[in-house]
Structure 1
Amino acid sequence: AEKENALIIAQQDLSTREQQLVAANTKLKTQKDEMAIQQQKIDDLIGVRTEIIRDLSTVFSAQNLKASVDTKTGDIVLESAVFFETAKSNIRTEGEELLNKFLPIYLSVLLRDEYKDYLGEISIEGHTDTAGDYIMNLELSQNRALSVAKYCLSLPSINENQRTYLRELLTAKGKSFSSPILNEDGSVNMDKSRRVEFKFRLKDSEMIVELNNILKQN
Structure 2
Amino acid sequence: MFKRGKGHGPEDQEDHWIPLSDLMTGLMMIFLLVAVSYMTDMELANYRIKRIAVRYNEVHDALYRDLEKEFKNDLPRWGAEIHRDLSIRFREPDVLFATGSDALKPRFQAILNDFFPRYVAILSSPKYRKSISEIRIEGHTSSFWNRSVSASSDDAYFRNMALSQARTRTTLAYVLGLPSVSGKKGWLKGLLTANGLSSSRLIYDKNGEEDPALSQRVEFRVRTDAASRIARILEVSR
TM-score, normalisation: structure 1 = 0.87
User: Relative to structure 2, which stretch is displaced further, 48-57 or 98-107?
Assistant: 48-57
Rounded to whole Å, the distance in 2 between the matches of 1:82 and 1:167 is 26
Is it true that 1:141 corresponds to 2:153 in the alignment? no
Give, in whole Å, the separation in 1 of the partners of 2:164 and 2:58.
32
Cα distance in 2 between the residues matched to 1:110 and 1:128: 27
Structure 2 partner of 1:37: 48
- CA distance in 1 between partners of 2:193 and 2:61 (Å): 22
Q: Structure 1 stretches of 5 or more lacking a match?
A: none
User: Any stretches of 5+ residues in structure 2 without a counterpart?
Assistant: 1-11, 146-155
Query: Which SS does the other structure have where 2:180 is aligned?
Result: coil
1:155 has 2:199 as partner? no
**CA displacement at 1:168 relative to structure 2:** 1.6
Shift of 1:50: 2.3
Match of residue 23 from structure 2:
12
Residues 1:116 and 2:129 are matched in the alignment: yes
Whether the 8 Å contact between 1:81 and 1:195 is mirrored in structure 2 is no
Structure of larger gyration radius: 2
TM-score (norm: length of structure 2): 0.80
Does residue 74 (structure 1) correspond to residue 97 (structure 2)? The answer is no
Distance 1:30 1:130 in 2: 49
- Alignment partners' CA distance in 2, 1:169 and 1:126: 17
Tell me which moved more, 176-185 or 13-22. Answer: 13-22
Deviation at 1:203, TM superposition (A): 2.4
Report how far residue 204 of structure 1 moved: 4.9
Greater displacement, 86-95 / 197-206:
197-206
Go from structure 1 to structure 2 and tell me whether the alpha carbon gap of 1:110 and 1:128 turns closer, same or farther (over 3 Å shift): same
Matched-pair identity in %? 26
Partner of residue 110, structure 2: 97
Root-mean-square deviation (Å): 2.1
Inter-partner Cα distance in structure 2 for 1:143 and 1:161: 26
CA distance, structure 1, for counterparts of residue 104 and residue 29 of structure 2 = 73
What number of residue pairs does the alignment pair up?
209
Per-residue deviation at 1:62? 3.6
Q: What is the CA deviation profile of residues 138-179 of structure 1, one whole-angstrom value per residue up to 9, with x for unaligned ones?
A: 111111111111110111232x33222212211111111111
Which of 172, 175, 179 is equivalent to 2:197? Answer: 175
- Distance in 1, Cα, partners of 2:50 & 2:136: 27
Report the AA paired with residue 86 of structure 1.
Answer: T
